[in-house]
Amino acid sequence: MPDADHALLQQLSENSRRYRDPLAAVDWARLDAGGFWMPEAALSLYGLPEYDALAPDVRRRLSQYEFINVMHAGLWLERVFMQRISQRLKPELAPAAYKYFLHEMREEAGHSLMFLEAIERSGLEVPLNAWQAPRLADWLARHAPAGGALFWAATVIAEDVPDKFNRHVRSSPDVNPVVREICTLHCVDEARHIAAARAQLETALLRLPRVALRVLNPVVRPLFRQYTRVFYTPPARFYELAGLTHGGRWRRLALGNAVHTQFVRELLAPTVRMLESYGFSLR
């Protein structure tokens, strides 16, 4: 492990020492389904004439299911990450990395418990298997070598995309205060996780010849697009649960929504620039 990585992981572990349990930190009594859980401008149908025609209660319910979609994406990523990282916890792993990964797993487990609690307390119907992980991203997350550049590129994407969303939602006064708390708590921990993942990615890239990026790009590009798509556009069943019939039609409308596409593009512009600074081509 390079000295810079060693020092960074030691510092991040020190910053994680005062652990805050999200289940105890969130004021769950304020979570209710009477208001929006996402800013309207962040919703996948916002900007369409079909959205303008929706009743206010349907719009609110859609915002709640779109946030539940975000939490399901988080549950999937944190589950896979903890599975993969736990396999690296071996005696030969550098002590600084061993300790840091334990801190991160504790925080990721806390996030997952927080998401599950929010979904349960919402009282909203979420049928088993209504949410499915994207195939390419799921396969890569489970099978890419855990110490390699592809795994860490996927990890950076999986952490930075939600981070930009969380920062946007937590600054909105028009969403439920518990949702803002959830996004804030997630942001605080993810700042450390992103710093560590970027350091691991940079170290992994240093081991590769520059030409190797030509091999990685055709994988990283669709990975980024697929994860962004599933994160910002819920499955068809979620539209139906929100009160819209023929969910597949509504999802197709959302995927073709130029207003939402531009919103996501602007929100993720810093993520794209960061990945391109490493030599990845996402355009």
- If one counts the domains in the chain, the total is 1
Report residue 2's pLDDT band, with 50, 70 and 90 as the boundaries.
low
pLDDT at 1 over 80: no
- Mean of pLDDT over the chain: 92
Average pLDDT over residues 77-98: 92
Provide the domain limits for residue 200: 56-277
The sign of the CA dihedral 59, 235, 237, 169 is negative
Residue 32 lies in a domain: no
4 domain-assigned: no
Q: Does residue 166 fall inside a structural domain?
A: yes
| Residues 140-187 pLDDT 10s | 888 888 778 999 999 999 999 999 999 999 999 999 999 999 999 999
The per-residue pLDDT for range 208-267, each reduced to its tens digit, is: 887 788 888 899 999 999 999 999 999 999 999 999 999 999 999 999 999 999 999 999
Residue 37 lies in a domain: no
Q: What is the CATH number of the domain that holds 144?
A: 1.10.620.20
79 in any annotated domain: yes
Looking at the domain assignment, is residue 122 inside a domain?
yes
Give the tens place of pLDDT for each residue, 191-201.
999 999 999 99
Residue 147 is assigned to a structural domain of this protein: yes
Structural domain contains residue 46:
no
d(CA 147, CA 84): 10
Closest CA to 159 of 134, 136, 177, 141: 141
